[in-house]
Structure 1
Amino acid sequence: AQTVTQPQPQESVQETGTVTLDCTYSTSESGYYLFWYKQSPSGEMVFIIRQNAYEQQNATNDRYSVNFQKEAKTFSLKISDSQLEDAAVYFCAYSGAR
């Protein structure tokens, strides 16, 4: 079975700061995808970034970047130059490659 754990699913965001959100997971599969989403105050769920477990390089998308450590099974999201619209609830998610 696969599990995903977030120590702090809600985070305060300061303008022009840098925020790091942590996520750990458990899986016995070698191929999979990891995702970060944010849920805005309106309830809309917005895709942020995806990491393929086979990729050596950490994914980046605009002001978002991840620190993916496959051996440690951690998947952190870093938001650079945070802005008011970054105020949201953030979720990490797992998907098998099949």
Structure 2
Amino acid sequence: MEDAVTQTQPSVSGVERESVSLDCTYETAASSYYLYWYKQPPGESLLFLSWQHSGGTKRNEAGERFSVNLEKSRRSVSMRITALELGDAAMYFCTFRRDTVLKFIGSPEQKLDTSPTTVRN
């Protein structure tokens, strides 16, 4: 199975001071993964909003009005934006990344360089 993310709504609109929910579904065979949310205001670069790990840890740089809900059993993740402001108008992107674990075998070696060093002026 290949990893895939689908944003389930082509567009969402809301009224100032109300709330909206942005939804994504995903497919993966991985047991450990991250889901990210980004925002791209018109004519600007992508801005990181948040991530959530499948194990439950989260990071939210978007502020209190933005909350993420991961439902692993439904393979879905949603972002709720409350108290909408005009500045929230943007393209929002949901992305997926498998967790990568690096394993090292053996112990690190430290070698002393004993070759002669020449210093020239």
Compute the TM-score of the two structures, normalised by the length of structure 2.
0.73
Map Cα deviations across residues 9-57 of structure 1 (whole Å, 9 max, x no partner): 43223210101011000000010000111111023111111101001x7
Q: Aligned ranges for residues 1-98 of structure 1 at < 5 Å?
A: 1-55=2-56, 61-98=63-100
| Number of residue pairs aligned between Structure 1 and Structure 2 | 97
Map Cα deviations across residues 65-88 of structure 1 (whole Å, 9 max, x no partner): 012101110001100111000000
- 2:35, 2:97 within 8 Å by CA — same for their partners in 1? yes
Unaligned 5+ segments in structure 2 are 101-121
Larger radius of gyration: 2
- 1:9, 1:90 within 8 Å by CA — same for their partners in 2? no
- 1:4, 1:24 within 8 Å by CA — same for their partners in 2? yes
Structure 2 SS opposite 1:16: coil
RMSD: 1.7
Q: Larger relative CO (CA 8 A, sep 6+): 1 or 2? A: 1
Unaligned 5+ segments in structure 1 are none
CA distance in 1, matches of 2:50, 2:84: 16
Which has the larger strand fraction?
Answer: 1
Compute the TM-score of the two structures, normalised by the length of structure 1.
0.89
Work out the percentage of aligned pairs sharing the same amino acid.
40
Go from structure 1 to structure 2 and tell me whether the alpha carbon gap of 1:49 and 1:9 turns closer, same or farther (over 3 Å shift).
farther
